[in-house]
């Protein structure tokens, strides 16, 4: 088999792995438009300075001795198999890099012969790239569950980011569908990688130039929707992974029906919206100071398909609103839907100059079509806003509900910044204690 045939097979097999920021999109080119996307081949990651990096995304091998039921590469699946040599991986990466197609490599693999044998091959490819070709580009390498600590350390010294897939959100599901991969074989290396990163950080301060270990940290991926765990369970699990293992990212991959096991959903892809909502909830955990049990509870274990998790929290906690833009502290501003991290900083800086109104907020980039229901400026609501659960819920979900029904978006009780300034003034504080007056 020549290297291009292998590349076709091994880039296609890697498309199910979402542990990078963009991948999996498939869109054919159309007459009159420019560009197309294919699910396999390249993916993107973001550097710590915000730069977007395109990566060659391939498997070293799609042969696997394991039989994880949710995976296209499981040994019982009848698919064409291929395995690169370490030199072929290195040559391909350098070839694409020199042509300016990519800026780095995302390398994963099925388990060939044994976890250690596979890790040796991955290590061989990375060693050639770093030491023979002096390749300084970004490398994200997957570690193989069950591989020895020594090999993981060696790979960590060559890769920028390393990751190990959690695969499924519970031990029970893992035992049922991936019995060859006990939970301990996933969590032990995760703990070890965390310690190595911390030790390396310490060494970087104390010694002059120690070799760096996974400077871009570690991440993981779990498949959602293949097994019955709720969103609440998944969000709580992600929170605990961030806390215990200092992960940079948890990636969520909506299950694509490729398994035939009776416990797996058949012919029923998991809605991508569920994956999207989980990413939004994950963002709240990492950057907005939310706890998992604020986002969801045992009694309400699923994310609302019509409302993003931040709006959902706000609508169901109206006792914390409205927030007065000119006085609220940073933590409370971060809880307002439509106000992001940068917007909060802009508000804090701008209000030192004088009180802000809705025109100022619009100029600062605040998304008023979400924020307006939850804020006041100098005690005044925006024109047209009613501080009432049904009014807010219906307005916030109106377009999504119409889209879900296949209907075009239409105007509801629109709020506007440019009509005559009839505004509502807060008179007493709390829900329902305002009256509408012209100012
Ligand atoms: S070990 Fe990885 S490649 Fe092999 S069957 Fe399981 S998920 Fe697929």
Q: Is 64 in the pocket of ligand 1 (CB under 6 A)?
A: yes
| Spatial CB neighbours of 123, under 8 Å, sequence gap ≥ 6 | 151, 154, 155, 158
Q: For 116-120, 124-128, 235-239, 392-396, which range has the lowest pLDDT when averaged over its residues?
A: 392-396
Q: In terms of residues, how long is the chain?
A: 439
The residue among 77, 76, 147, 138 whose CA lies nearest residue 109 is 147
Give, for ligand 1, the residue of 9, 13, 60, 71 to mutate: max count of ligand atoms closer than 8 Å to Cβ.
71
Assess contact for 12 and 81: CB atoms under 8 A. Answer: no
pLDDT band (50, 70, 90) for residue 120: very high
3-class DSSP state for residue 304?
A: coil
CA of residue 249 to ligand 1 center, whole Å: 21
pTM over 0.85: no
CA of residue 70 to ligand 1 center, whole Å: 9
Mean pLDDT in residue range 28-49? 63
CA of residue 3 to ligand 1 center, whole Å: 23
DSSP code of residue 321: -
- Tens of pLDDT, residue by residue over 77-104, are 999 999 999 999 999 999 999 988 888 8
Give, for ligand 1, the residue of 16, 61, 68 to mutate: max count of ligand atoms closer than 8 Å to Cβ.
68
- Tens of pLDDT, residue by residue over 352-371, are 999 999 999 999 999 999 99
Q: Is 74 in the pocket of ligand 1 (CB under 6 A)?
A: yes
Assess contact for 305 and 298: CB atoms under 8 A. Answer: no
d(CA 234, CA 309): 14
- Tens of pLDDT, residue by residue over 151-191, are 999 999 999 999 999 999 999 999 999 999 999 999 999 99
Q: Which residues of 102-137 are buried (b: 16+ CB within 10 A; e: fewer)?
A: bbbbbbbbbbbeebeebbbbbbbbbbbbbeeeebeb
The residue whose CA is least distant from atom 2 of ligand 1 is 110
Cis peptide before 193 (omega within 30 of 0): no
Residue 428 in this model has a pLDDT that exceeds 60 = no
List of long-range contacts for 305-308, beta carbons under 8 Å, 24+ apart: 305/271, 305/273, 305/274, 305/277, 305/400, 305/404, 306/397, 306/400, 306/401, 306/404, 307/393, 307/396, 307/397, 307/400, 308/277, 308/280, 308/337
The residue whose CA is least distant from atom 6 of ligand 1 is 68
| Spatial CB neighbours of 69, under 8 Å, sequence gap ≥ 6 | 177, 178, 259, 260, 261, 263, 264
CA of residue 71 to ligand 1 center, whole Å: 6
CA of residue 165 to ligand 1 center, whole Å: 10
Radius of gyration for the chain, computed over Cα atoms and rounded to the nearest angstrom: 25
Assess contact for 138 and 53: CB atoms under 8 A. Answer: yes
Q: Is 111 in the pocket of ligand 1 (CB under 6 A)?
A: yes
């Amino acid at each position: 088999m020549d290297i291009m045939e292998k590349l076709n097979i091994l880039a296609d097999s890697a498309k199910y792995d979402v542990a990078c920021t963009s991948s999996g999109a498939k869109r054919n080119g159309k007459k009159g438009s420019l560009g197309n996307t294919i699910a396999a081949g390249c993916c993107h990651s973001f550097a710590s300075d915000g730069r977007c990096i395109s990566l060659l995304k391939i498997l070293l091998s799609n042969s696997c001795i394991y039989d994880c039921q949710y995976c296209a590469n499981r040994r019982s699946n009848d698919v064409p198999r291929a395995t690169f040599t370490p030199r072929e991986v290195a040559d391909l990466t350098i070839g694409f890099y020199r042509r300016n197609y990519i800026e780095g490599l995302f390398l994963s693999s099925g388990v060939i012969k044994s976890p250690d044998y596979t890790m040796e091959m991955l290590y061989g490819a990375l060693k050639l790239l770093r030491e023979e070709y002096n390749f300084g580009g970004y490398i994200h390498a997957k570690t193989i569950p069950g591989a020895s600590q020594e090999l993981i350390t060696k790979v960590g010294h060559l890769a920028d980011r390393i990751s190990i897939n959690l695969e499924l959100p519970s031990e029970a599901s893992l035992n049922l569908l991936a019995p060859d991969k006990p939970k301990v074989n996933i969590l032990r290396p995760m703990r070890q990688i965390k310690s190595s990163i911390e030790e390396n950080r310490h060494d970087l301060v104390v010694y002059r130039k120690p070799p760096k270990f996974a400077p871009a940290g570690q991440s993981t991926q779990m498949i959602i929707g293949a097994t019955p765990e709720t969103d609440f369970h998944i969000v709580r699990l992600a929170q605990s992974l961030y806390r215990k293992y200092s992960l940079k990212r948890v990636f969520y991959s909506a299950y694509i029906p490729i398994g035939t096991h009776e416990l797996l959903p058949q012919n029923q892809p998991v809605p991508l919206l569920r994956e999207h909502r989980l990413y939004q909830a994950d963002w709240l955990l990492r950057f907005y100071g939310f706890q998992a049990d604020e986002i969801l509870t045992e009694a309400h274990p699923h994310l609302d398909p019509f409302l993003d998790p931040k709006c959902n929290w706000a609508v169901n906690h109206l006792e914390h609103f409205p927030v007065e833009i000119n006085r609220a502290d940073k933590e409370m501003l971060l809880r307002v839907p439509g106000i992001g991290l940068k917007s909060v900083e802009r508000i804090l800086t701008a209000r030192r100059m004088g009180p802000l109104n809705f025109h100022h907020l619009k100029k600062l980039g605040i998304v008023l079509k979400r924020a307006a229901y939850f804020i006041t400026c100098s005690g005044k609501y925006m024109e047209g806003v009613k501080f009432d659960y049904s009014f807010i819920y219906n307005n916030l979900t109106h377009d999504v509900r119409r889209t879900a029904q296949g209907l075009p978006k239409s105007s509801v009780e629109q709020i506007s910044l440019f009509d005559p300034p009839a505004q509502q003034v807060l008179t007493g504080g709390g829900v329902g204690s305002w009256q509408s007056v012209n100012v």
